[in-house]
Amino acid sequence: MTQSEVMPEAAGELLRRIEQGLLEVGVIGLGYVGLPLAEVFCRGGYSVTGFDVDQRKVDAITAGRSYIGDVTDEQVRAQVEAGRLHATTDFDRLAEMDAILICVPTPLRKTLDPDISYVLAATREIAGRLRRGQLVVLESTTYPGTTEEAVLPMLAERGLEVGRDWFLAFSPERVDPSNPKYKTENTPKVVGGVTPACSKVAAEVYRRAIPAVHPVSSARAAEMVKLLENTFRLINIGLVNEIAVICEKLGLDVWEIIDAAATKPFGFMPFYPGPGLGGHCIPIDPHYLSWKLRSLNYFTRFIDLASEINRSMPMHVVHRLTELLNDRGLPLKGSRILALGVAYKRDCADTRESPAIDVMTLLAERGARLSWYDPHVSEFSLDGTPVERVPLTAESVAAHDVVLILTDHSGVDYRLVVDNAQLVFDTRNATKQLGTDSPRVVKL
Ligand SMILES: NC(=O)c1ccc[n+]([C@@H]2O[C@H](COP(=O)([O-])OP(=O)(O)OC[C@H]3O[C@@H](n4cnc5c(N)ncnc54)[C@H](O)[C@@H]3O)[C@@H](O)[C@H]2O)c1
């Protein structure tokens, strides 16, 4: 917005409410993204109300309990007791909010097409209650155009003019669960409004809670930023997974190669191979872009190739494991395999889209006898059937034919594992710290 452009009256009122510390913030969806965001906004001095369809989450917050690893019970309790954090399933209270941030899931359908039904459901809740002076921001990761093409028309039905009476923006959530250094509050916030006034209002709302705000020219640009970031990761992980396969064929240790390449102080950024892709973001988000581009008759070849390589990794792990057992005169069928780590990444409790699911499903289909251990996860099932969880003791490790390390959690006693296992197949280089050259430890 240029100096000569006059801010709409409703925007001025919203900005005044920020200055006076009166702004009411609503967060729809209190999951891995929504709860940390709500807590950060509380710390920024805002009064925050979280809306969720899950009564258990609402009850937990109201009781001062967290269910997300990156937010402590103390943090939730402090904000609830200070009267800054509330949670509810009563969507009528959306009408009281000045700013509403949508943080609901955006999964894929089985066909790899986007499922924006949660976004539409949340938007519908707002649409019936939208009033003059409100700001709505979509934070859920989605394809470029969603805010303008799907969210805006539903909210516009109210007859209010966007950019004058109310404001709409997209701001990608970039949280990296369990990252000890970068959290919601110290990760810059990219913001793009559907009009210049929308961008301005959204940027000011965020700035008080997250000081580094980076405005972009449109909501569509902000949507694309997030997809570039996650596509970048998808493709680099695909590349390094292929390098792992190449190194194996050449008889080289891929981990040594990456560590050496990473000594170059410019032009190289290390990515590491693994048993596959996991989590709610990297395996999913780039397909939102592919889908959108297919509708424009363009094929996203890099995304498709990297996805193909990453999706082949669980089977690659199973093939390697089968060979390792065969070398010891054991068939995969009937072998006892202890999967160490079932969360999709280090020091995280999230098992959504975890490669452990794919690897263990393939092993189960081939008749392997599975059990698992993960210090962060208490329940794990394959297709609804619970798999036996065992403690990580010298006895349990020794009782298995192989320990298959699928997640490199810190705080696991890898020395105990290596000293007692008959065989370790380490797909994450988790045993690196031991500096072991034991022939019983084999790496991806
Ligand atoms: N988890 C991450 O690391 C991460 C990082 C960046 C971006 N994102 C994106 O953020 C979005 C949310 O992801 P998440 O991991 O927080 O999901 P989540 O499943 O942990 O949380 C989503 C919450 O939304 C609630 N919900 C569903 N439908 C609702 C509705 N109609 N009204 C109110 N609440 C509803 C669910 O009950 C749940 O509590 C997704 O688009 C995701 O791609 C996630």
pLDDT at 4: 46
Average pLDDT over residues 388-401: 97
Average pLDDT over residues 386-397: 97
Q: For ligand 1, atom 20, name the residue with the nearest CA.
A: 31
Closest atom of ligand 1 to CA, residue 51 = 33
Question: Which region among 15-19, 333-337, 363-367 has the lowest average model confidence (pLDDT)?
Answer: 15-19
Instruction: Tell how far the Cα of 34 is from the centroid of ligand 1, in angstroms.
Output: 7
Using a 6 Å CB cutoff, which residues line ligand 1? 28-34, 51-54, 57, 103-106, 118, 121-122, 140-141, 173-175, 177, 280-281
Same fold, 9-217 and 232-443: yes
Q: For ligand 1, atom 26, name the residue with the nearest CA.
A: 29
CATH of range 232-443; options 3.40.50.620, 3.40.50.460, 3.40.50.720, 3.40.50.1000:
3.40.50.720
Closest atom of ligand 1 to CA, residue 121 = 31
- Which of the listed residues 70, 92, 100, 103 should we mutate to test ligand 1's pocket, taking the one with most ligand atoms within 8 A of CB? 103
Closest atom of ligand 1 to CA, residue 30 = 39
Q: Is the pLDDT of residue 1 over 70?
A: no
Q: For ligand 1, atom 21, name the residue with the nearest CA.
A: 31
Q: For ligand 1, atom 41, name the residue with the nearest CA.
A: 140
Every domain of the chain and the residues it spans: 9-217, 232-443
- Which of the listed residues 32, 51, 55, 139 should we mutate to test ligand 1's pocket, taking the one with most ligand atoms within 8 A of CB? 32
- Which of the listed residues 40, 49, 52 should we mutate to test ligand 1's pocket, taking the one with most ligand atoms within 8 A of CB? 52
Instruction: Tell how far the Cα of 116 is from the centroid of ligand 1, in angstroms.
Output: 11
Q: How many CB atoms lie within 10 A of CB 260?
A: 9
Q: How many CB atoms lie within 10 A of CB 149?
A: 12
Q: Is the pLDDT of residue 374 over 60?
A: yes
Question: Which region among 104-108, 208-212, 342-346, 434-438 has the lowest average model confidence (pLDDT)?
Answer: 434-438
The pTM score is 0.92
pLDDT at 255: 97
Q: How many CB atoms lie within 10 A of CB 346?
A: 17
Fill in the amino acid letter for 268. Answer: F
**Which one, of 397, 318, 398, 309, lies nearest residue 364 by Cα?**
318
Average pLDDT over residues 230-247: 97
* Structure tokens, 276: 């596959």
Active site residues per annotation: 281
Instruction: Tell how far the Cα of 140 is from the centroid of ligand 1, in angstroms.
Output: 7
Q: Which helix (H) or strand (E) holds 303?
A: helix 301-327
Q: How confident is the model at residue 3 (pLDDT cuts 50, 70, 90)?
A: very low
Q: How confident is the model at residue 5 (pLDDT cuts 50, 70, 90)?
A: low
Average pLDDT over residues 130-151: 97
What tens digit of pLDDT does each residue of 94-109 get?
999 999 999 999 999 9
Instruction: Tell how far the Cα of 148 is from the centroid of ligand 1, in angstroms.
Output: 20
What is the secondary structure of 203-261 as a DSSP string?
Answer: HHHHHTTSS-EEE-S-HHHHHHHHHHHHHHHHHHHHHHHHHHHHHHHHT--HHHHHHHH
- Which of the listed residues 35, 56, 90, 104 should we mutate to test ligand 1's pocket, taking the one with most ligand atoms within 8 A of CB? 104
Whether the Cβ atoms of residue 38 and residue 58 lie closer than 8 Å to each other: no
Q: For ligand 1, atom 7, name the residue with the nearest CA.
A: 173
CATH architecture of the domain 9-217 equals: 3-Layer(aba) Sandwich (3.40)
Q: For ligand 1, atom 5, name the residue with the nearest CA.
A: 175
